Structure 1
């Protein structure tokens, strides 16, 4: 194996292991209960709830249980449903929410990767699996 192939294999292994590890909430046992009927993922001190519907995708952001400020925020989503790949850009739509309207192929099993950009924070890479 050459060095490029070895590096690619190690990178793929690191990604697979990183996504297989459970996310722990700063030492507490609180459950990440959806408040809007979506799927919840925690990254750092932020909780992200994705509500994906065929005509609208909404991302709710909470920090320490409170809705996060979304002024100046945005998110780029990639939706993977079978062999279909769709992208969407979300913009602020109210307190603690980012949203996009359109036609989206979402069904149970759809994987969603979100790059969330909030002012004064690092870009968050958030992953979801639609139920």
Structure 2
């Protein structure tokens, strides 16, 4: 009876490993610089974070900060939306609010956002609960 139990457990373990390996077929994990199919490249020169299949792209410039939001390549409706950003750079903490402007949520002004700055955004879109999104600037 012990041998039968051992064989059953072994067969189950092997089938689970085979299924896990199958989940990533088509991904070139071993290739240098390989990407997952669901990784997204920036469309506006910023840093992208994907949360629940929604793409958030944070773009910083001398004029301000913009947050582009898209779902499966389609720009999200930002009417009535907002985002509260907390920027953490070394010991310095800055907070700002982004509001809809053209095709992104934006804040105007001079923000010191050097490479390596951690940004936490609480993004609220019309009719949806606030979504936390994290970035590290490059």
TM-score (structure 1 length as normaliser):
0.75
- Counterparts of 1:82-121 in structure 2, within 5 Å, are 82-95=90-103, 97-121=104-128
1:76 aligns to 2:88 (yes or no): no
What is the alpha-carbon root mean square deviation over aligned residues? 1.2
Residues in 2 aligned to 1:80 and 1:55: alpha-carbon distance in whole angstroms: 19
Residue pair 1:54, 1:106 contacting (<8 A) in 2 also:
no
How many Å separate the matches in 1 of 2:136 and 2:110? 18
Q: What's the CA shift for 1:102?
A: 1.3
RCO (CA 8 Å, sep 6+): is it higher in 1 or 2?
1
Aligned residues: 103
2: CA distance, partners of 1:41 / 1:111: 12
**DSSP 3-state at the match of 1:70:** coil
Question: After TM superposition, which residue ranges in structure 1, 4 or more long, deviate above 3 angstroms?
Answer: none
Distance 1:121 1:45, change over 3 A: farther
* Counterpart position of 1:34: 42
TM-score, length basis structure 2: 0.71
CA drift of 1:30 comes to: 3.1
Gaps of 5+ in 1: 1-27
